Structures are given as C-alpha cells and as structure tokens.
Chains A and B, each alone.
Chain A
C-alpha cells in the first residue's frame, strides 16, 4: 500500500514570494491533515479536512495561508506572501477510523521550506 506522498521535498524562496505544497493521502483515507513543524518543536496542526470539508482551521494564519482539498483526495497548501518565520517542515498526514476508537495518522515525508 502506497504511503502519503508530498511534493516538493525541498523549497527555497525569498520572503514575500508565494509557494504551494501538494499532498496525496493514502487511498481511501477520508481525513487529511497539514502540520507545521518548526525546528526543535513538535508538529502543530494547521488544518484538518474530512473528505473535502474543513473540520479545523483554527491555527491556520488565514491572512497568508490557504488550503484546499478538491474532490476529497489530493490537497494543496499555499503561502502567499511568505515570511521568514514560515521556514519549517510542512507535514501532511491522513487517517481512517477503524473499528473502535483508534484513528492513527500516517505522515508523508514532508516539505522543508526555507524563506530567505
């Protein structure tokens, strides 16, 4: 079974430029998450989708970040304009609720963004 795919793996941009990240979740997983991981910290949720609807975007800086999940499969995360503090690893995860209460999230390899 293929895992979560993300691209690009690395991106270097200058501040005030725009950038987009792409994620393809595990087939059949209804829930998709975008996390931001700043160096030395644990990941922090930016946005959660259930199929193509937003469940939680309370931590998403909406003045510069946007995300969509058209057709309930792939997702893109965009930053426009980028700031220096956006330098981080952006992790995409997907999950599927199985019998019982366990819903395990599986992560992609991440996109390392450096804003100069």
Chain B
C-alpha cells in the first residue's frame, strides 16, 4: 500500500520569499505519479503540479516546481516568490499508474504568507 508523509503541520513565510514544503512517499510499485494540491479555505482542491516516477526532469509549472529525489523517495514542492494568495493547505498525493488510480493523500501543510 502507498503512504504519503508530510511532517510540517504549519509554516510561516515572508511574502516574496521562496518556500519548500516537504513530502516523502512509500510504495513498492515502480510506476507511480506524485501530485501536489492546494486547498484554500473555500475547500476546493486545486491541482498544482505532477511528477511521474519515470520522468527524468523535475516538473515545473510557473512558480511551482517539484524537487523529485527518487532514491530518497521525496517529492518536495517549491514555491518561488511567495504571494499572499498562496496561504492555504497544501497536500501531497500519489497514485499508481496502472490499475487503481485512486489518490493517497498526506495530512497536509498549512502555509501562511506574512506580508
């Protein structure tokens, strides 16, 4: 079974600084996908970025990048030049590429951007 661990319950970051949110995962399956979602107070889960287990390069989407270290089984999210609107809960998740594609989520990190 897959498992996602997010060890930072909360983080406070100054506006315009970069921030790294930690995520480690565990699976014995060689083919999987890693995802980050943002959940504002409104409750909707917003897809941010995806990394496939066979992707050679780290994924990037605008100000978001995923620092994928396969040997360490880590998939940290990096947000550059943080903005006040980045304040939210952030969830790391994974699924398997073949068979059941259900997402397994971590417990989340609450990010607060300080003006």
Tell me the smallest distance from the CB of A110 to a CB of chain B, in Å.
4
Number of A-B contacts (CB under 8 A): 66
In angstroms, Cα B37 to Cα A52, docked, is: 27
The reply on A12 being an interface residue by CB < 8 A is no
With beta carbons under 8 angstroms apart, the residue of A89, A105, A109, A110 that contacts B103 is A105
Contact A56 B43 (CB under 8 A): no
Contact B102 A56 (CB under 8 A): yes
The reply on A19 being an interface residue by CB < 8 A is no
Contact A112 B43 (CB under 8 A): yes
- What does DSSP make chain B's interface, helix, strand, loop or mixed? loop
Give the size range of B's interface with the partner. 20 to 34
Tell me the smallest distance from the CB of B65 to a CB of chain A, in Å.
17
The reply on A77 being an interface residue by CB < 8 A is no
The reply on B35 being an interface residue by CB < 8 A is yes
In angstroms, Cα B31 to Cα A7, docked, is: 35
Residue ID in chain A nearest B6 by CB atoms: A42
Seen from chain A, the residues whose Cβ lies within 8 Å of a Cβ on chain B are: 31, 33, 35, 40-45, 48, 55-56, 89, 91, 93, 95, 100-110, 112
